[in-house]
Structure 1
Amino acid sequence: MPVTRKNLFGIFSMCCCVLLIITFWKSQKFIPSFGQMESPSQTLRFMMHQAPSISTNESGDKDNSVTTVKKKLKLTTTSNETCKSKTNIVFIKTHKTASTAIQNVLLRYGLHNNLKIAFPRNIHDFNYPSFFSTSSVAKLGSGPYNIVCHHMRMRYDAVKNLMPKDTPFVTIVREPGELFESTFDYFWPIVPSFQRVPHHGNTSMEDWLDKAGEHIRAAGHSVYAHFAKNPTFFDLGYNNLIDDDQYIEKTIDVLSKIFDLVMVSDYLDESMVLFADLLCWDLEHVACLSLNARSHDNEGDDVTRKARIREKARRWNKADALLFDHFNETLWRKVEEFGMNKMAASVRKLTQIRSNLAEICIDGGTAVDSAKINDSTFKKTIFKPKGVSVASYNLKPGAEKIATCRELIASENTFSKQVFDAQ
């Protein structure tokens, strides 16, 4: 076919179009998106769901406070090709053990994966400190529940019957010396026997432990008296006042058969890695910040005195001490089975994810005393017992527009109500 001027023009035009397309593709390829940047790491492309478009101010300029998040990103299902994500989970929430942070993880996962969470009628707890009953569960349509994660005094059979078969059970324990210190300080305002000594300081705790039985008898019965002795044993549904070795050992044996994983708050990173592995979730899904924690810890006190008080606390809380020792050993056996090198690498990754979240969301990158919270509306939602300093977070300017940032720091009851309303 003869080459005409018209044909030459058509060929020239087509070449120009191809050249423009290639040039545009190359320019886009080498402009890093948020998910390709080294900081924050690419793992956060899974975390920053529902991020808004960049807002503009009155002059039409882009709001630079949220320029670190340029796309609407949302949580994905697990990328682990060797197993399938589990969506059914019972988490028995215990007191002063970092359990609120784990509850936050489960509420976020449930919210963004359209799972059905069993909520208490009062949104906060299942008639605690009474034993769990299905009558305390808010009715939400038909069909089985996927997640249980609010405070209760466990009655295993009742919880088990609420959930699909083969639902894994998980809980968390804490070293009893540390647990008693936190419990004494946090619950002093509601435990009459604690109030027989001054509130703050290790001197007060030691004075109380030296005469614990006397203080409890003098204070008489109260609704929250169980916080004074073996509170974790109580939360798990057993008699916290019995010090008999046979009873305690038998109970621990039963609990070992009930729970697929008992996390240890003293080794929370390793526990969270095992938690993610149990559920076949990516580590991005279990990243969290410390919530509802006290903002002071008597760290300036004499080390020898603290060790002495810790030993007294262990003797007084004998059941919790034996419970902790057993499941601490169990945790580290699971770590060895998981692989020590693999665990170390996973902990580093989880730490980096958490650091990146704090870099994006948290003003100053760390917690502050609740008295220093800038948002007055948010400040009112923080539960703070009288005389107790509680740590919380200020969001960076613009971070309040990012759903993940708001959810990471949300107070327990506020976020529970939000998820409940969404269901």
Structure 2
Amino acid sequence: MVLYGGKGLRRRMVRFFSMNPRFFVLCTCLSFVGFVILFQSEWKRRVLPDLQFGTVRDNTKPRPPKRFCHLKNNIVFLKVHKAGSSTVMNVLQRFGLQRGLNFVLPKRGHYLGKITTLKKANLLPLKANETYNILCNHVVYNRTVFGSILKHPMFYFAILRSPFNQFVSAFNYYSYIYPNKYLLEVPKVNPITEYLKNPLKYESFLNDPRFSYTNSRMAFDLGLNLSDVRNEQKISEYIKILEADFHFIMIMEYFEVSMVLLKRYLCWDLKDILFVPKNIYSAKKPHQVGVEDLRRHRAWSKADYMIYEHFLIIFWKKVYEEGPDLALETEHYRSLLTVTRTYCKSQNRKKSMTITQSKWNEPFELTSYDCDIIMKGELPLVYMLQSKHKREHFPYSLKGKRTISK
């Protein structure tokens, strides 16, 4: 038996290819194609992600396919009392100001409707052929009325808070910051417990029960009739209406995650959702509450619990659908919030601050003017928007007569 070594094999291959030149060319081409395919796959897998996203790597799971996205300007935010809604409102106001959008604004005050829904007669009207873009002031929801005034397809969203925490926050706020008569009747020793022992006793001091801020107020703001707030069937039926009408319900306990989700749904930039918390009050002496207080409150505010728990489940489904990338973007967002608060609260804001590019944002400038709007209180900003609206939609002559028709 003759065994061919390396040199013998090479001689035979050279002799074979010299006698078959076309076969040699074919083999060479196939080898080159194979090399290109292998090189391209390795480039995409190892090199390209680092070139696009710097040193940020997410090796947990691939991102879900990016949804088709177009920036949304037509927005309804249903502002729920004592659930972080003033902070969200500031974000929407800043977005609308920067883009010259039209707000739904009351002619007087800052409520579109404290205990009622929208009324066209109470709104600052627009010039002919213009439409409203953003609604974010307090008003009670009514799907029929909203649809008749807001002509464009709107993105509807709201915010909810854990019912007991929302109740305690409202109780404190309307006892000590903006005292409401019915809550002043509650004894000062263990007031939460005393109120929950007999809430109807203290609610009876109200001339109109719709002015209560402690009787399923979240459900009432969302449009549920007060007569139905302890009727489970009516509540369940209304939850279906809310689920059909609202594209997204934020959860205050997961505020930053909610804001990143909102940004994704609206196709906004991270700069658009920067904020400094608004309208926060903490009791100097925390209330002592027990298990019995929680049980009584769940029975008293049945509607708030049913609505909150329903939309909390939907919220976590939305979080799951976004994948692990949502957590990474939220952490990055939190770091930007820290930088924003430090910069906006500093005494030296003469120079703008540059935020560098990341996987989740293009580079942008944070300016002193941005901070002025971010830091502005709810009422001053509403009044500023009202003045701007009147200048743009109701120009007056020096004699005080309108120069445009209604």
Q: Do both proteins adopt the same fold according to a TM-score greater than 0.5, normalized to the shorter chain? A: yes
In structure 2, the residue matched to 1:209 is 196
Find 1:344's aligned residue among 306, 327, 336. 327
Max Rg structure: 2
Report Cα offsets for 1:131-188 as digits up to 9, x if no partner. 2212221113231111111011112222122224321111111111001101111112
In structure 2, the residue matched to 1:366 is none
Q: 1:117·1:147 contact (CA, 8 Å) conserved in 2?
A: yes
CA distance in 2, matches of 1:257, 1:265: 21
CA distance in 1, matches of 2:121, 2:341: 40
Alignment of 1:64-143 (within 5 A): 82-142=68-128, 143=130
Q: Secondary structure of 1:221's partner?
A: coil
Alignment of 1:1-400 (within 5 A): 82-142=68-128, 143-188=130-175, 189-198=178-187, 203-217=190-204, 219-222=205-208, 225-242=211-228, 243-296=230-283, 298-299=285-286, 305-306=289-290, 308-339=292-323, 341-363=324-346, 396-398=347-349
CA distance in 2, matches of 1:177, 1:216: 18
Residue type of the alignment partner of 1:153: V
Q: Secondary structure of 1:288's partner?
A: coil
In structure 1, the residue matched to 2:397 is none
Q: 1:93·1:172 contact (CA, 8 Å) conserved in 2?
A: yes
Q: 1:100·1:291 contact (CA, 8 Å) conserved in 2?
A: yes
Q: 1:177·1:311 contact (CA, 8 Å) conserved in 2?
A: no
Q: 1:191·1:222 contact (CA, 8 Å) conserved in 2?
A: no
CA distance in 2, matches of 1:310, 1:284: 39
Q: Secondary structure of 1:193's partner?
A: helix
Q: 1:230·1:318 contact (CA, 8 Å) conserved in 2?
A: yes
Residue type of the alignment partner of 1:158: V
Q: CA deviation at 1:123?
A: 4.7
Q: Secondary structure of 2:181's partner?
A: coil
Q: 1:229·1:241 contact (CA, 8 Å) conserved in 2?
A: no
CA distance in 2, matches of 1:274, 1:286: 11
Report Cα offsets for 1:375-410 as digits up to 9, x if no partner. xxxxxxxxxxxxxxxxxxxxx344798111111111
Q: CA deviation at 1:298?
A: 4.6
CA distance in 1, matches of 2:258, 2:339: 20
**What is the TM-score of this pair, normalised by structure 1?**
0.68
Q: Give the 3 Å change call, closer, same or farther, for CA 216–399 of structure 1 in structure 2.
A: farther
CA distance in 2, matches of 1:104, 1:267: 18
Residue type of the alignment partner of 2:339: N
Q: Secondary structure of 2:139's partner?
A: coil
Q: Secondary structure of 1:227's partner?
A: coil
Q: Give the 3 Å change call, closer, same or farther, for CA 197–233 of structure 1 in structure 2.
A: same
Q: CA deviation at 1:225?
A: 3.5
Q: 2:206·2:212 contact (CA, 8 Å) conserved in 1?
A: no
CA distance in 2, matches of 1:114, 1:283: 19
Q: CA deviation at 1:215?
A: 2.4
**What is the TM-score of this pair, normalised by structure 2?**
0.70
Residue type of the alignment partner of 1:228: T
CA distance in 2, matches of 1:171, 1:122: 24
Q: Give the 3 Å change call, closer, same or farther, for CA 81–236 of structure 1 in structure 2.
A: closer
CA distance in 2, matches of 1:297, 1:164: 46
Q: CA deviation at 1:85?
A: 0.7
Q: CA deviation at 1:118?
A: 1.3
Report Cα offsets for 1:40-59 as digits up to 9, x if no partner. xxxxxxxxxxxxxxxxxxxx
In structure 1, the residue matched to 2:7 is none
Matched residue count: 306
- Structure 2 alignment gaps of length 5 or more: 1-65, 352-366, 390-406
Q: 1:129·1:153 contact (CA, 8 Å) conserved in 2?
A: yes
In structure 2, the residue matched to 1:36 is none
CA distance in 1, matches of 2:212, 2:97: 33
